[in-house]
Structure 1
Amino acid sequence: MPLYEHVFIARQDLSNAQAESLVEHFSTVLADNGGKVVDSEYWGVKTMAYKINKNRKGHYAFLRSDAPAPAVQEMERLMRLHDDVMRVLTIKVDTHEEGPSVQMQKRDERENRRR
């Protein structure tokens, strides 16, 4: 099956638990349609470069999936219909990189510099 990476931004007024439950919800959508989520990361609340729907910040989440194209299309369709999701980006990749994503690596490097 093809490999995909998904990033979505949820509204800033959600709690962390609600944002993480969105990740679980969309993971089950993929699983119900014959795919699987290889890895998921919650990146936290980040400031955006410009306002989207009058929001200056948003909850960022990242998913790595191994799913057929119809499953990904269904998940994207449901994300775009969901009121809490502001933006969605899906990229087809050849291989998944091992370890944490670049966003999580930067956070680890910052913590090491403080010490």
Structure 2
Amino acid sequence: MALYEHTFIARQDLSTAQAEGLIEHFQQVLTDNGGSVSDTEYWGLKTMAYKINKNRKGHYAYMRSDAPSAAVQEMERLMRLHDDVMRVLTVRVDEHEEGPSAVIQAKNARDERGPRRDRGPRRD
């Protein structure tokens, strides 16, 4: 079996619980077809660079899996048929990186820095 990283964007009008439910659904598709999912991340509702299907924002999700190619093809087929999924990206990798993805690391670094200082009252 090969190692894969999957990223998909769901419609903005879904709730967070529904977006996380999509992650669980597609994780189950992979496991039912002989694969395993090692890690999932919900990146949140993010603004996109351009509109997709009249949506300016989307729920981003990320999964790391070890699955046969048939399982990945079936999951991608179901994602493309699903009305709530707007875009899908699957990349085959040689090995999975340990720890959280770069998106989560950047978010944690922003949270640790605290509030921005330039947001105070103007001093003219």
Name the TM tier (shorter chain).
over 0.9
Matches of 2:73 and 2:16 in 1, distance apart? 26
* Structure 1 gap segments, 5+ residues each: none
Matches of 1:88 and 1:111 in 2, distance apart? 28
1:98 lines up with 2:106 in the alignment? no
Normalised to the residue count of structure 2, the TM-score between the two structures is 0.92
Matches of 2:35 and 2:19 in 1, distance apart? 21
* Structure 2 gap segments, 5+ residues each: 116-124
Structure 1 residue ranges, 4+ long, deviating more than 2 angstroms after superposition: none
Q: What is residue 40 of structure 2 aligned with on the other side?
A: 40
Structure (1 or 2) with the larger CA radius of gyration: 2
Please tell me the residue identity of whatever aligns with 2:107.
R
Percent identity of the aligned residues? 74
User: How many Å apart are 1:112 and its aligned residue?
Assistant: 1.1
| 1:56-104 Cα shifts (integer Å, max 9, x gaps) | 0000000000000000000000000000000000000000000000000
Task: Give the number of aligned pairs.
Answer: 115
Matches of 1:29 and 1:2 in 2, distance apart? 16
Please tell me the residue identity of whatever aligns with 1:45.
L
User: How many Å apart are 1:114 and its aligned residue?
Assistant: 0.9
Please tell me the residue identity of whatever aligns with 1:7.
T
1:29 lines up with 2:29 in the alignment? yes
User: How many Å apart are 1:29 and its aligned residue?
Assistant: 0.3
RMSD: 0.7
Normalised to the residue count of structure 1, the TM-score between the two structures is 0.99
